[in-house]
Amino acid sequence: MQLETRTIFNTTHTDSEYGSIGTPLYQTSNFRFRDVGQSTGYDYTRSGNPTRATLEKVLADLEGGAKAVAVSTGIAAIATVLSHFDQGAHVIATHDCYGGTARLLKLFEAQGKLEVSFVNLGNIQDVRAAIKPNTACLWIETPSNPLLEVVDVTELSKLAKVYGLLVAVDNTFLSPFNFKPFEFGADVVVHSTTKWLNGHSDVVGGAIVSRTPELGERFQFLANALGTTTGSFDSWLVLRGIKTLVVRMKQHEENAQRVAEFLAAHPLVSDVYYPGLTSHPTHTLAKKQFTGFGGVISFRLKANDEEAIRSVLRSTNIFTLAESLGGVESLIEHPASMSHASMAPELRESAGITANLIRISVGIEHSDDLIEDLSRALSTVTESKPAKEETVSC
Ligand X SMILES: Cc1ncc(COP(=O)(O)O)c(C=O)c1O
For residue 273, indicate whether it is catalytic: no
3-state DSSP assignment of residue 361: strand
Catalytic residue, chosen from 152, 170, 187, 305, is 170
Contacts of 29 (CB under 8 A, 6+ apart): 44, 45
- Interface residue with ligand X among 60, 75, 119, 148 (CB under 6 A) is 75
For residue 170, indicate whether it is catalytic: yes
73 is a site residue for ligand X (CB under 6 A): yes
Cα 134–Cα 139–Cα 142 angle in degrees, nearest 5: 155
> Are the C-beta atoms of 359 and 339 separated by less than 8 Å?
yes
For residue 300, indicate whether it is catalytic: no
294 is a site residue for ligand X (CB under 6 A): no
- Interface residue with ligand X among 82, 92, 204, 312 (CB under 6 A) is 204
- Cβ burial 258-292 (10 Å sphere, 16+ → b, else e): ebbbbbbebebbebbbbbbbeebebbebbbebbeb
Nearest C-alpha neighbor of 197 from the set 142, 233, 236, 239: 239
Which region among 7-15, 154-162, 170-178, 351-359 touches ligand X (by CB under 6 A)?
170-178
For residue 46, indicate whether it is catalytic: yes
The CB-of-116 to ligand X minimum distance in angstroms stands at: 16
Residue type, 232: S
The CB-of-194 to ligand X minimum distance in angstroms stands at: 4
Catalytic residue, chosen from 52, 195, 243, 248, is 195
172 is a site residue for ligand X (CB under 6 A): yes
**How many residues belong to the site for ligand X (CB under 6 A)?**
16
C-alpha to C-alpha distances, 167 to 120, 139, 225, nearest whole angstrom? 16, 6, 23
The CB-of-206 to ligand X minimum distance in angstroms stands at: 5
230 is a site residue for ligand X (CB under 6 A): no
Residue type, 393: S
* Site of interaction with ligand X (CB under 6 A): 73-75, 98, 100-101, 141, 145, 170, 172-173, 192, 194, 204, 206, 324
Which residues form the catalytic set?
Answer: 46, 98, 170, 195
